Amino acid sequence: MSRLLLLFLLSTLPTSLMAEPRKFVRPVSIVLDENGLPIVSVTLHSLKTPGTSRAFRFILDTGADWCVVDKSVPSEFFWDDPHTESTARDIADQALPTESVLLKRVEVGDLTRDGIYAARMDLQAQMGRFQDQPVDGILGMTFLRGTRFLLEPNEHRLIWWGYHFSPGATLPLSTSPGSLPSLPIRMGGQTVEAEVDTGSTGGLDLPAALRPTRTGGKTVSQGVSGVAIAGEIQAISIIEAGGFTWRHAPVDFQEGTKLGRIGLDVWLASKVCFDFVTRHVTLTLDKAGNLPLRREPNRRLPLLWDRSGTVPQLVVALVKPGSPMEKAGCRVGDVLLQAGNLKGRALTRRAVQDLVASGSRHGWIVLRSGKEVPLTFHAP
């Protein structure tokens, strides 16, 4: 199992200047990229030309303390702020070079906020390896603090100031040591803070210190720096949060972490209300009255984009023992030239993932040590 974890921990700074929220509740459309990350349209306003604005693609990420803008975003949309320090770290605790800026005005649907602190960095070089269409930024907690929104994944939309619904489980939020919203998770008599992270494509992640003695399946998670985190996934009969439970839930116990994490397999399982005003989260219970959890198989392949040349290339970044890629003969560093009938512009991570997940017999052509090598994926 290999998956992407997106998390930025940034130094906490003075609260940003915020405009009064508008009272409209027009839904905001959400698109899921090939990793399953929620993407929203964010409008930034120009300093250079009053009344001029431009829309950008941002990841909705409650696991990012700050908003982030890519270096490709023109400087007319922000003030440089060299006197304010930002230190970004990914999920593997790797430092990422950043600059501090202050966005003039940020709009997401009918919610407008002024003077939003953000980190400016080469995000597309980092995240762009994981995405067919690199994003322009991350909508983090410098914008989301003090808001409430209803996330409805089946309708692919977000509604600002959406209400708590019933029946459901309303749980009080706390604050992690990284200053991010979190929930206390209890397992086997031990409690750990689990960060509420819509930038993580996983489900329930806990520190390896809580792992039962039995052996589970090996996992590899990767931060945007490219550094991998080893883990082990096991099915846990009962996990508690706020008096409610997940039952028979797969948990990824990750090495080198002290905090837990709750990712999109929970937040996109059904509608959920994030309330960063009264600091609560309301989740839809499943038919058995338990906390929700998606149990779909992971279809993501460890293929990364190399955009260092004139033509982007898909490169094999990891070959897990026993995986379809190993059985087909893939090697780390192989450059994918064709998969089935997919080649040229049609050769994308999403398309290749769907092809392999279909289970059909098909061939790959990879470039290895300067030679084209044919590979065959057999039907199960």
pLDDT at 10: 53
Whether residue 320 contacts residue 228, with contact meaning beta carbons closer than 8 Å, is answered with: no
Whether residue 4 is predicted with pLDDT greater than 60 in this model: the reply is no
pLDDT band at 18 (very low <50, low <70, confident <90, very high): very low
**With 60 as the cut, is the pLDDT of residue 11 above it?**
no
Q: pLDDT tens digits for 194-219?
A: 999 999 989 999 998 898 877 777 77
Kindly report, residue by residue over 39-83, the tens digit of the pLDDT: 999 999 999 888 899 999 999 999 999 999 999 999 999 999 887
Predicted local confidence at residue 320, as pLDDT = 83
Average pLDDT, the chain: 88
Residue with tokens 């949060």: 241
pLDDT at 115: 96
Which of 302, 298, 326, 328 has its CA nearest to residue 315?
Answer: 302
Vertex 61 angle, CA 116 and 11, to 5°: 55
pLDDT at res. 20 = 44
- Residue 139 has a pLDDT of 98
Distance CA 156, CA 344 (A): 30
pLDDT reported for residue 92: 67
Residues 295-348 have pLDDT tens digits of 887 778 889 999 988 899 999 998 888 888 999 999 999 999 999 999 999 999
